[in-house]
Chain A
Amino acid sequence: MNIDGVTIDDTFAEAFGMRATRLIVTAETIGWARVAATGMTGFATSVIGCGLEAGIERELDVQETPDGRPGIAVLIFAVSRDALAKAVRERVGQCVLTCTGTACYAGLSGDAEVPLGRALRYFGDGHQAAKRIGERRYWRIPVMDGEFVCEDMTGAQRAVGGGNFLMLGRSYRGVLAAAERAAQAMRQVPEAIMPFPGGLVRSGSKVGSRYKFLPASTNDPFCPTLRGTAQSEVGPDVASVLEIVIDGLTEQAVGAAMAAGIRAACAGAGGALTRITAGNYGGKLGPFHFHLHELLK
């Protein structure tokens, strides 16, 4: 398959089952909501090193938030419900509770729940108060600028993590421009996030290493500086490779984001981008397989 002069490999991305939640962070201004959301989704690139993967899904208008203030929808992914609960407690506790004027609400119902305000209420040291409004229960925790309002629980659902594709090109600048187009297009897809910095990954990894203490190491077959070695996947026309990793609430969301990203990367690539491929483990580890040709039909 070829799109705008870019070869699309006949391969697939292999992804894994995860647990996810959506949180809605509101604040007095969208700027402060961004500060809180950016903080809570920092150091959240990979479950291997961070214990969770997280990212900003989108900004919310005042009509879309529970308290009528500007807000941000954040998606958080972890390998289990317990790990998700720990991530939610730590991230909201350290990055949202602490951020001026914020409130935090559940953004999905899901088939299970993890504690949100229920885990943080003790910060109120006995002065916290539960408040049920309609069918939802909140905690009001006194803080120095007023009250931190936080929903009692947030929903958790099965999700998909690790969708990916790699962009290979003749120059770093050309690949970067294509990757930025891809990330921008993928940010418009609901229910999906790209957890790495700016949505892009330069340090794609493989499972294991020659060191016993290191469970993952550089994806040397795709490192251009190692071209010519036995395992190299990089041809003579490739000087740079960037990857985008996608987590989504559903398999469809991951597939839609991948398709949007690949199309945007190829559009107007002007020969800078030569090839797009995807990472997998032979299909033996992850239950979700995203075949590039099928996604782009």
Chain B
Amino acid sequence: MTRLVLKAEPPVRLAVDGLIPERLAGLSPAAIEKLPLTLGNRRQAVADWFRVEPTDGATIEIVGDCRRLDKLGGGMSEGTLSIRGDVGAYLGIGMRGGTIAIAGSAGHGAATDMRGGVLRIAGDAGDALGGALPGAAGGMRDGTVLVAGRAGSEAGRRLRRGLIVIGGDAGACCGAEMIAGTVVVAGRAGELAGAAMRRGSVIALGGVERIGPTFADGGVHDLIFLRLLARHLTTLGLDGLATRLGGLRRWTGDAAVGGAGELLVGK
């Protein structure tokens, strides 16, 4: 479809939430170059920062050092967006569908307010993965987020629905204030995991740094729903992780808020 090659690293944050498949579909390279972008507090055009190249595939590719590019794939609802390298903040914010795949790491707030689709991060994710917009009652509402590396603090905070899989460790407050949904941490979850959660599941296969006193130990169980989840993870290409789901200790809480969520903890 289109390849966008970043000409140079922007001096300040460059918001590129308009560069999504449904917006670019059917546009010529010249028309794409005229689309607006926001550099700091200034309006600029795509041509100021990108070289636009037509390609044969159906994917939009973004090439270059994208660490100062924010809101990549923001609001996207269909198609595929591929980014070679690291990206800035709010990757896939408000995403509703389609697939975003990045070869590097993502900054703060990836998948914030996400409502559908698949977000694949080959590297690490920053803080507030799948979180809520400022002031919003709920965070990510649906969709799938797959992080191969580690995630910062507050992953899945106020998660309302959907699946977040973190291949490495997760920082503090993973799944805090969770409303529903599932967070799987293949590594170790930081302290205060699930703090103030109401419903939903935080599955920490490598253990939790410290489980709060407002969680009740329900013993070790081989839950049937984990087999359903394992099958689903297999369809996502996470076969190795799928084999580790089973025989986990179940902690229910957070009683501090009258919650009925669960921490399912390995080791």
Residue with the greatest number of chain B CB neighbours at <10 A, chosen from A133, A138, A146, A147: A133
Given A68-B231, A127-B260, A129-B260, A146 and B180 touching (CB < 8 A)? no
Residues of chain A lying within 8 A (CB to CB) of residue B229 = 133
Which of B5-13, B38-46, B71-79, B219-227 makes up part of the contact surface?
B219-227
Q: Given the complex of chains A and B, what is the CA–CA distance between A53 and B239 in angstroms?
A: 40
> How far apart are the CA atoms of A66 and B181 in the complex, in Å?
19
Distance from A186 Cβ to chain B, minimum over Cβ atoms (Å): 32
Alpha-carbon distance between A136 and B180 when the two chains are bound, in angstroms: 15
Flag whether B161 is at the interface (Cβ < 8 A): yes
B231's partner among A67, A129, A130 (CB-CB below 8 A) is A67
Question: Which of A40-94 touch B at CB < 8 Å?
Answer: 66-69
Please, how many angstroms separate the alpha-carbon atoms of A275 and B236 in the complex? 57
B201 proximal to A (CB < 8 A): yes
Query: Is B210's CB within 8 Å of the partner chain A?
Result: no
Q: Which of A67, A127, A130, A140 meets B227, CB within 8 Å?
A: A67
A278 interface residue per 8 A CB criterion: no
Contact with B along A139-166 (1 / 0, CB 8 A): 0100000110100000000000000000
Taking CB atoms, residues of chain A closer than 8 Å to B232 are 133-134
Given A127-B260, A131-B182, check contact A67 B221 (CB 8 Å): no
Interchain nearest-CB distance for B46 vs A (Å): 35
Does B228 interact with chain A (Cβ within 8 Å)?
yes
B228–A67 CB distance below 8 A? yes
Bound CA–CA A68/B235 (angstroms): 14
Cβ B223 vs Cβ A66 within 8 A: no
Task: Give the residue name and chain of the A residue nearest to B262 (CB).
Answer: A129
Q: Please pick, from B162, B224, B235, the residue contacting A103 in the complex, using a CB distance under 8 A.
A: B224
A132, CB-defined interface residue at 8 Å:
yes
The answer to whether B228 and A138 have CB atoms under 8 Å apart is yes
Across the interface, name the chain B residue whose C-beta is closest to A126. Answer: B260
Closest to B144 in A: A134
Answer whether A140 and B225 are a contact pair too, CB < 8 Å, given A127-B260, A130-B180, A132-B161.
yes
Q: Which residues of chain A are near B224, meaning CB under 8 Å? A: 67, 103, 146-147, 149
By the criterion CB–CB under 8 Å, are A147 and B225 in contact? yes
User: Bound complex: CA of A129 vs CA of B230, how far in Å?
Assistant: 18
Q: How far is the CA of A127 from the CA of B225 in the complex (A)?
A: 15
A116-136 at interface with B (beta carbon < 8 Å) = 127, 129-134
Contacts of A134 in B (CB 8 A): 232, 235
Interface contact A129-B221, CB-CB below 8 Å = no
**Nearest CB in chain B: distance from A133 CB, A:** 5
Residues of B within 8 A of A140 (CB): 223, 225
Tell me the bound Cα distance from A37 to B241 in angstroms: 32
B228 with A66: CB separation less than 8 A: yes
1/0 per residue A20-54: CB within 8 Å of B? 00000000000000000000000000000000000
The 9 closest A-B pairs by CB, nearest first: A67-B227, A149-B224, A134-B232, A133-B232, A133-B228, A103-B224, A149-B225, A68-B227, A131-B225
Return 23 A-B CB contacts under 8 Å, by A number. Answer: A66-B228, A67-B227, A67-B231, A68-B227, A68-B231, A69-B227, A127-B260, A130-B180, A131-B201, A132-B181, A133-B163, A133-B182, A133-B228, A133-B229, A133-B232, A134-B232, A138-B225, A138-B228, A140-B225, A146-B223, A147-B223, A147-B224, A149-B224
Query: Contact residues of A with B, CB < 8 Å?
Result: 66-69, 103, 127, 129-134, 138, 140, 146-147, 149
17 additional A-B residue pairs with CB within 8 Å, beyond A133-B163, A133-B225, A134-B235: A66-B228, A67-B224, A67-B231, A68-B230, A127-B260, A129-B199, A129-B260, A130-B180, A131-B225, A132-B181, A133-B229, A133-B232, A134-B232, A138-B228, A146-B224, A147-B225, A149-B228
